[in-house]
Structure 1
Amino acid sequence: MTQNDTIVALATASGSGAIAVIRLSGPEAISYASQQFNSITRKDIASQKSHTIHLGHIVDGSRIIDEVLLSIFKNPHSYTGEDIIEISCHGSSFIQQEIIQLFLRKGCRMANAGEFTLRAFLNGKLDLSQAEAVADLIASDNAASHQLAMQQMRGGFSNEIQKLRDELMNFASLIELELDFAEEDVEFADRTEFKNLLGRIIKVLKGLIDSFAVGNVIKNGIPVAIVGEPNVGKSTLLNALLNEERAIVSDIAGTTRDTIEDEIAIGGIGFRFIDTAGIRETRDVVESIGIKKTFEKMEKAQVIILMLSTKDILKDQSRILLELEKVKNRFPQKPLLVIVNKIDVLDDDTHNKLQSFISEGSKFEFLKLSAKSGEGVEELKTHLLGFVNTGALKNNDTIVTNSRHYDALIKALEEIQKVSYGLDSGLPSDLMAIDIRQALYHFGEITGQITTDDLLGNIFANFCIGK
């Protein structure tokens, strides 16, 4: 991976806008910029200090392309660790392309996806987990995922892994030293202290692995399936939650033939609501496909909202309770919230009957609301937040959100457990050393101390060009 050339790319989103930023990075960035930039005050850009901004024109010979602001960041005090020039020009797509093509003609190369961040990693400005957090930060669309990405980008996760790796490395070196004195039968590593360290590492790794369940849903949004019989108000509830007419609402049973999905942030957490086809016996082929998809979405959901109408409850309470039992038995591990809808049409008598039904089904969580009037919808949002275990997030504990990190942590835990078993069994140092090296390897995979070109290619290919 050569870094001896200078790259250029649009750093802001493509398309027209008020302004756009074009970024150059590499050994010739300042030289190329000084040739194509005429300062309003006739300053020589090459001699200006780092972290300064200058007003002037980008020119192609005698032709002025645009009036711009040019920012200078000199190595090593820049994002990539190289000389960087950032040109803030007007947001015309034509102007953007004219400037980029100008620098390409002068000797720059078009940056690959994520190449600026790749160079930051290769130059030691970021470790690999921090570099990956940059992509997560760009993709974050709610407060919680933003907080997780910021925590990782600032090194919270990698610092914790690095600390464990350093401690393990110290003992590994002592174990390796014992191999050089195998004939003398000496022990340089204190076995009791080593066992305590392994216990701490196992505890931390298990905590990080367990946190992935929370981190993954926060990062990708928590899927919530809204299910129930036709015409109980599922689509009306979805519209009330989104505060827009997202789903078709009709008095005709079976209007929703397919699943409808949309996402909103509640209390900084992303929730992905899935309005499903009504569950009932039907001969309609299209509706049957929709019902099949409903069960598929329930399998994938983290939370199930089962909606009932007061009319159906009062008609056949025993059947309704039996249906609730079936859903709970089919998905025993998923939080099930039973919504009693259309409470806006209750009189005192039906309200009392409804309370009797809720008391009889006390093993279930019930919430009464009116999707049509909006009564109880805010209470539902509060209830949903209660299903999310965000204690670790609020306490700024490390939460794992990256599948690659999760996989490496599991492999590291397996190796550490082998070392712990070997220590308890009196395994020879040379055999324990093999497992220790493997654990160190998996720790290094997370922070980037152990990398391959294929690994870096896969990671940075998911970045946008210009970052």
Structure 2
Amino acid sequence: MITQDTIVALATAPGMGAIAVIRVSGPEAILRTSEVFTTISGKSLEKASSHTVHLGYIKDGERTIDQALVTVFKGPNSYTGENVTEISCHGSPYIQQEIIQLFLRKGCRMAEAGEFTLRAFLNGKLDLSQAEAVADLIASENSASHQLAMQQMRGGFSDEISKLRQELLNFASLIELELDFSEEDVEFADKKQFSDLLDRIQSVFKNLTDSFALGNVIKTGIPIAIVGEPNVGKSTLLNALLNEERAIVSPIPGTTRDTIEDELVIGGIGFRFIDTAGIRDTEDVVESIGIRKTHEKIGKARLVIYLVDAEELLSYPSRKEEIQQQFTRLREQYPSKELLLVINKVDALNEPSYSEIEKSFPEAMMISAKENKGLDALKDQFLSLVNTGALASGDTIISNSRHFNALVKATEEIAKVKEGLEAGLSGDLLAVDIRQALYHLGEITGEITTDDLLGNIFANFCIGK
């Protein structure tokens, strides 16, 4: 892994804009920049103080490419821990490429995806979980995912894992020290204290792994499936929630034959709404495929809206019992899902009819997707069904599947150590499982890494970060 050369890349989004920022990092970053940049003050960049900004001209020999601002950061007090310069130039794609090509001719190399952050990690400016949070922060599309990324980037999760890992490492050292004095029957590790530590670690790991269910859906968007029989207004509800004509609305049953998905941010949390094909018995081959897909989407959803037509309930009294049975069957079929019974088209009801249905279905929400009635209350219900208390209170929430998998493996090893300690196993056998737990914890923070692991993580970064 080459980290001693000087790299350059566009740090802002490609394309035309008011300004663009070109980042240079490495041992010769300030020197190479000074060779192509003339300050208006006449002061040399190499003599400039760190964290200072200078106005001047980018020149290729006698040819002036642009007037620009250059910010100087001297290592180790920079993002990467190396000497860094950032050139703020005009946002013409031509100017951007001219400046980058000029640096390449001066001996710099084009940065690879995430290489600036990789260098920050290798130089101890960030641990691995914080580095991954940088990519999550860039990709955040709502306040909840942004808050998760900021929480992780500040290092709370890393500090918690590192502290537990250090305590476990101390006990591992004492247990292995006992092996050197096995003939003297000396005991250095307090077994009661060690057992208490294992209990505490198991409790922390359980809370963290349990938080992944919430963290993952906040990061990727909470999936909500809108299901029900044909023509109850599922597509109308989707369009009303999104405030656009996203799905085809027709009085003909079976119009929606495939799932339609779109996203909406409510209260700072991203929701992915899925309009599904109507559930009914049909001999239509295409519609049957759509219904099968509906059940697949229900399986993946965190919240399921079961939509019912209010007019049908009034026109056919027997439908009330059928709807209750269908809703109960859906609850039995998907016991782990949040299910919400929503009665649509209440705009067509008079007051007595409305009260009658409300009395028959006290747990249901009454809305009119067509008239936008009850939708604000429905959105509030979405938020209340999502446990965001941990997010609001600042508790550590993990959203990275790599961290989750490492924690699961570490938890399994800690359970083995606990069982072995209670069974009175010898120190050498306990030490094996402890070392495995330490290995998996080290994978999270980057204390244990491989080139393949780093390559996979940083390949997902954008160039220039």
SS of the aligned residue for 1:351 comes to helix
Instruction: Please state how far the C-alpha of 1:139 moved relative to its aligned partner.
Output: 0.7
The count of corresponding residues between Structure 1 and Structure 2 is 462
Identity between Structure 1 and Structure 2 (%): 67
Partner residue of 2:450?
452
SS of the aligned residue for 1:107 comes to coil
Q: Which amino acid in structure 2 is aligned with residue 344 of structure 1?
A: D
Runs of 4+ in 1 over 4 A off after TM superposition: none
1:77-92 equivalences in 2 (<5 Å): 77-92=77-92
Instruction: Please state how far the C-alpha of 1:281 moved relative to its aligned partner.
Output: 2.5
List runs of 5+ in structure 1 lacking aligned partners: 360-364
Partner residue of 2:320?
317
SS of the aligned residue for 1:75 comes to coil
SS of the aligned residue for 2:69 comes to strand
Q: Which amino acid in structure 2 is aligned with residue 342 of structure 1?
A: K
Partner residue of 2:220?
220
Instruction: Please state how far the C-alpha of 1:132 moved relative to its aligned partner.
Output: 0.5
> Structure 1, residues 272-326: CA drift from partner, whole Å, max 9, x if none?
0011112222333332222221111111111100111112222122222222122
CA distance in 1, matches of 2:330, 2:193: 51
**1:424 paired residue among 401, 422, 425:** 422
Q: Which amino acid in structure 1 is aligned with residue 223 of structure 2?
A: P
**1:386 paired residue among 384, 387, 390:** 384
SS of the aligned residue for 1:18 comes to strand
1:249-268 equivalences in 2 (<5 Å): 249-268=249-268
List runs of 5+ in structure 2 lacking aligned partners: none
Per mean C-alpha deviation after superposition, the further-off stretch among 221-230 and 246-255 is 246-255
Instruction: Please state how far the C-alpha of 1:200 moved relative to its aligned partner.
Output: 0.6
Partner residue of 1:441?
439
**1:335 paired residue among 334, 338, 362:** 338
CA distance in 2, matches of 1:326, 1:198: 43
Partner residue of 2:402?
404
SS of the aligned residue for 2:90 comes to strand
Asked if 1:346 is matched to 2:344, the reply is: no
1:23-422 equivalences in 2 (<5 Å): 23-314=23-314, 315=316, 316-359=319-362, 365-422=363-420
Per mean C-alpha deviation after superposition, the further-off stretch among 277-286 and 210-219 is 277-286
> Structure 1, residues 208-259: CA drift from partner, whole Å, max 9, x if none?
1111111111111110001112221111111111122222222222222211
Asked if the contact 2:11–2:463 (Cα under 8 Å) also holds between the matched residues in 1, the reply is: yes
Q: Which amino acid in structure 2 is aligned with residue 227 of structure 1?
A: V
Q: Which amino acid in structure 1 is aligned with residue 334 of structure 2?
A: F
> Structure 1, residues 76-122: CA drift from partner, whole Å, max 9, x if none?
00000000010111111111111111111111101011000000000
Per mean C-alpha deviation after superposition, the further-off stretch among 314-323 and 82-91 is 314-323
- Note the aligned Cα RMSD (angstroms): 1.1
Instruction: Please state how far the C-alpha of 1:12 moved relative to its aligned partner.
Output: 0.8
CA distance in 1, matches of 2:320, 2:419: 56
Instruction: Please state how far the C-alpha of 1:264 moved relative to its aligned partner.
Output: 1.2
CA distance in 2, matches of 1:256, 1:19: 46
Q: Which amino acid in structure 1 is aligned with residue 115 of structure 2?
A: E
Instruction: Please state how far the C-alpha of 1:332 moved relative to its aligned partner.
Output: 1.4
Per mean C-alpha deviation after superposition, the further-off stretch among 249-258 and 190-199 is 249-258
CA distance in 2, matches of 1:283, 1:197: 61
Q: Which amino acid in structure 2 is aligned with residue 110 of structure 1?
A: M
When normalised by structure 2's length, the TM-score is 0.97
SS of the aligned residue for 1:426 comes to coil
Per mean C-alpha deviation after superposition, the further-off stretch among 287-296 and 410-419 is 287-296
